[in-house]
Amino acid sequence: MSRTRKVFIPSVLLLAFLLPSCAGNTGFTSYREGIFEGLQCLRMQDHQAALEQFLRANQGDPTEALPLALAGQVTYQMGRYADASHYLAQAERAKRDRERAYVIVKAYQSLIAFREDRREQGMAALADYVGIMGNRLFHPDQTYYEVKRMYQSGDITLPRLEDLINYQISRYERIAT
């Protein structure tokens, strides 16, 4: 056997094993890049680009809850409340990573419910949100206590609650993602 053939055959075999493993990572790469770029766009208030990136991340791994929760957040901020409800419901049904997405889901479910005059559902979602954000692992800041007081008193001022939640979620995203 010639020297070229001795090198060629192992090279082809190595390539045959490497290509499928590289192809298997494209979903993870799309997921990771979509989340990263989407969060950057969200911080710059480029909501449409953020939504596109979060949906790209969801295509990369449709079992993950976080891209759907973030898509729900950004569509809420775009004023597309029906779409936001849809993405948030999908995030709740996702199989993986529901814990990180849960706080985002509950925050925006509460805002949507209050906006649609569904006070009971809004209070229930807000109770879940206050409970998880009050967990000592998140080190709540002063704005948390204002949300908690609103919840405890039942005196919900939607524009103020919306501002507080948007601030708190952006802070959470810097810590948790």
**What does the pLDDT read at residue 17?**
44
Domain total in the chain? 1
**What does the pLDDT read at residue 27?**
73
**What does the pLDDT read at residue 135?**
81
The answer to whether 54 and 70 have CB atoms below 8 angstroms apart is yes
**What does the pLDDT read at residue 74?**
98
Q: 3-state DSSP helix/strand/coil percent for the chain, to nearest 5?
A: 80, 0, 15
The per-residue DSSP string of 125-169 comes to HHHHHHHHHTSGGG---HHHHHHHHHHHH----HHHHHHHHHHHH
On whether the pTM is more than 0.85, the answer is no
**What does the pLDDT read at residue 19?**
41
Residue in the structure block whose two tokens are 């997921």: 31
Instruction: Tell me the mean pLDDT per 10 residues along the chain, length 177.
Output: 52 42 62 94 96 95 94 98 98 81 95 98 97 76 93 98 95 76
Residue in the structure block whose two tokens are 């802070």: 171
Say which CATH number the domain at 46 has: 1.25.40.10
**What does the pLDDT read at residue 176?**
64
**What does the pLDDT read at residue 150?**
97
The answer to whether 52 and 67 have CB atoms below 8 angstroms apart is no
**What does the pLDDT read at residue 160?**
98
> What is the extent of the structural domain holding 13?
3-176
